[in-house]
Chain A
Amino acid sequence: SYELTQPPSVSVSPGQTARITCFGDKLGNKYVFWYQQKPGQSPVVVIHEDTERPSGVPERISGSNFGNTATLTISGTQALDEADYYCQAWDGNTAVFGGGTKLTVL
C-alpha cells in the first residue's frame, strides 16, 4: 500500500519560515492536499492540487510538489499557525494521509 511520510514535528520562531515535508514514491506524479488541525478541532484544507489555496487561507501558506517530496511552506509564521498538518494523496480509489506533523511556534 502507498505510504506518505512526514516528520513528526517541526519548530519555528515567530516570523520565520516553516517547511513541512511529505515523502512518497513518485509523489510528484500525484496531487497532494494539506490539512491543518488545531487541538480539539476538525481538519481544514489549506492547500489543494499541490499549490492552490482555498479562499480564506492566507497567502503566506503555500505548497509545492516535485519528485518524491511535497512541501508545505508557511512564511512569516505566526502563533496561530501552531497546529498539526497532514498531507494527503490518492492511491487509486483510496485516500492516504501522512502521519502528520506538529508545528510548534516557539
Chain B
Amino acid sequence: EVQLVQSGAEVKKPGESLKISCKGSGNNFNNYWIAWVRQMPGKGLEWIGIIYPGDSETRYSPSFQGQVTISADKSITTAFLQWSSLKASDTATYYCTRQTRTAPYYFDYWGQGSLVIVSS
C-alpha cells in the first residue's frame, strides 16, 4: 500500500528556518515525481513544485521559485520542503502528493498534511 507520511505541525517565528518532510512507503517511491501543495487557512490549493527523488530533478511554480527549496533523499525515500527565512504569510498546511507515472499526470496519493504556523 502506498503511503506518504508527513512530519508534524510546526510553530516558528518569522525569520526562522524550517524543513518539513514526506516519507514514502510502498514500491518505487524513487521512481515517482513528488509534488508539494500549499493550502493557506480557509483557502484553496496551490502547487509549489515537484521533485523526482531518483535523480533530484526539480521544477518550481513561478510563484514559489526562490521562496522555498524542494529536495529529496532517495536512500530514505523522503522528500523535503524547506524555508531559509519564514514569513507570517507562510502559515499554511503543506501537502506532499505523488504524481502518476504515466500521462496524463495527476496526483493519486496525498500525505496527511503538515501545518506550519509562523507567528511572533
Task: Identify the A interface with B (CB < 8 A).
Answer: 1, 31, 33, 35, 37, 42-45, 48-49, 54, 84, 86, 88, 90, 93-100
Other A-B pairs, 9, CB within 8 Å; known A43-B97, A88-B106:
A33-B107, A42-B110, A42-B113, A43-B45, A45-B106, A94-B59, A95-B50, A95-B61, A99-B44
Q: List the A side residues contacting B90 at CB < 8 Å.
A: none
Does B104 belong to the interface (CB within 8 Å)?
yes
Cα distance A55–B59 when bound, in Å?
30
Q: State whether A94 and B61 are in contact (beta carbons under 8 Å apart), knowing that A31-B104, A42-B95 are contacts in the complex.
A: yes
The size bracket of the interface on B is 20 to 34
Task: Identify the B interface with A (CB < 8 A).
Answer: 35, 37, 44-47, 50, 59, 61-63, 95, 97, 104-108, 110-113
Q: Is the interface of B mostly helix, strand, loop or mixed?
A: strand
Cα distance A54–B62 when bound, in Å?
30
Contact check, A35 vs B47: say whether CB atoms are below 8 A apart.
no
Q: List the A side residues contacting B45 at CB < 8 Å.
A: 35, 37, 43, 86, 88, 97, 100
Contact check, A98 vs B44: say whether CB atoms are below 8 A apart.
yes
Q: List the A side residues contacting B113 at CB < 8 Å.
A: 42
Q: List the B side residues contacting A43 at CB < 8 Å.
A: 37, 45, 95, 97, 107, 110
Contact check, B44 vs A86: say whether CB atoms are below 8 A apart.
yes
Closest to A33 in B: B106
